[in-house]
A = this chain, B = another copy of it.
């Protein structure tokens, strides 16, 4: 799994000249999507199969500010994985220094709108996620 990298955009910075704190939530989403892509399990494939993976909770600890043009590198880990819940951990760095740590928890919902146990329904995806633990 390659580390996700992206630069802070001009319009992501606020009046204080730093990345607005809400944007880290979006970088977390980009990181998850990138990881699924790398697993060969892109979002489109999930959508095509009618699976959605809503965000149940997020939590972010801001350690250092970042700003326009800063290159953010995000290390993604799976912190927990149970039948019904998936928890990602994120460590964002700039020049090797941690700028924030975060986590997000997700469930999986099938085409019929009911929770699915991806270990059963999508063993390949389950195995790929397991490797991120």
Known: A43-B68, A69-B44. A58 touches B21 (CB 8 A): yes
Q: How many chain A residues touch B (Cβ–Cβ < 8 Å)? A: 34
Determine which residue in A16, A23, A25 has the highest number of CB atoms from chain B within 10 A of its CB, and name it. A25
**A2 CB, nearest partner CB in chain B, Å:** 16
Contact with B along A22-37 (1 / 0, CB 8 A): 1101100110010000
Chain multiplicity (copies):
4
| B25 with A10: CB separation less than 8 A | no
Residues of B within 8 A of A29 (CB): 9-11, 22
Q: Give A114 to B37 CA distance when docked, in angstroms.
A: 35
B30, A22: Cβ atoms closer than 8 Å:
no
Residues of B within 8 A of A69 (CB): 42-44
11 sample A-B contacts, Cβ–Cβ < 8 Å, listed by A number: A10-B14, A10-B33, A11-B14, A11-B22, A15-B17, A21-B58, A25-B25, A43-B68, A55-B62, A57-B61, A57-B62
The interface of chain A, by Cβ under 8 A from chain B, is 9-11, 13-17, 20-23, 25-26, 29-30, 33, 42-44, 52, 54-62, 65, 67-69
